[in-house]
Amino acid sequence: MKYTLKMLRASKNWSQVTAAQKIGVSVDTWGNWERKRSFPDVPHIEMIQKVFNVAYHDIIFL
């Protein structure tokens, strides 16, 4: 199954603030990723995979 960042966040019932804190970015950065205005770099993608226990190829970034 494929997941957007918003779907991953909602699956844990987290706010954007909580998700941003867990990944180590600002709320604005997380929000921009969710709205596809910008994209995470490799270290942040790795953190997203770890925090949400999901493989890279299962995350929809576009």
Encoding tokens for residue 21? 């804190």
60: left (phi over 0), alpha (psi -120 to 50) or beta: beta
CATH of domain 3-56: 1.10.260.40
| Res 62: pLDDT | 78
Percent of the residues in the chain that have a pLDDT greater than 70, as a whole number: 100
Q: Is the pLDDT of residue 61 over 90?
A: no
Taking all residues of the chain, what is their mean pLDDT, rounded to a whole number?
96
Beta pairing partners, 60: 4
Share of the chain above pLDDT 90, in %: 95
Mean pLDDT to the nearest integer, 6-18: 97
The per-residue pLDDT for range 24-42, each reduced to its tens digit, is: 999 999 999 999 999 999 9
